[in-house]
Amino acid sequence: GAVVSQHPSWVICKSGTSVKIECRSLDFQATTMFWYRQFPKQSLMLMATSNEGSKATYEQGVEKDKFLINHASLTLSTLTVTSAHPEDSSFYICSARDPAGAVAPLHFGNGTRLTVT
């Protein structure tokens, strides 16, 4: 089955620093990847759609300068949380569809738990 690998699994950083999270599709190509954020005991909120070779599409209310997304290849998307603050602490999960298509199921990475101190 389709496997999405996310790294790191957890990270602790100091306020004001930047953190990069990687999302890889291991056995399929993903022209589109999705980045979600999940607060404790809450649902998954779509942050942005990452598009290979072009700009990401951000959801309303998500600061594109704060959450930088790069999708440079068909198997890798990265999310960089810039100038992180404690309120950015959350569980970030990426996903991709295999096969590609609007109704195909999402395959999620294991997620990255970010703690900003």
Tell which one of 44, 62, 68, 76 touches another protein (CB under 8 A).
44
Residues ≥6 apart with Cβ < 8 Å to 102: none
Tell which one of 25, 84, 107, 116 touches another protein (CB under 8 A).
107
Amino acid in position 108: F
Tell which one of 25, 109, 114, 116 touches another protein (CB under 8 A).
109
How far apart CA 116 and CA 88 sit, in angstroms, is 7
Give me the 1-40 binding string for another protein, x by CB under 8 A, dash otherwise. Answer: ----------------------------------------
CA-to-CA dists, residue 80 to 6, 10, 71, 76, angstroms: 13, 14, 12, 13
How far apart CA 38 and CA 71 sit, in angstroms, is 21
Minimum CB separation from another protein for residue 15, in Å? 25
Binding site for another protein (CB under 8 A): 41-46, 49, 93, 102-103, 105-111
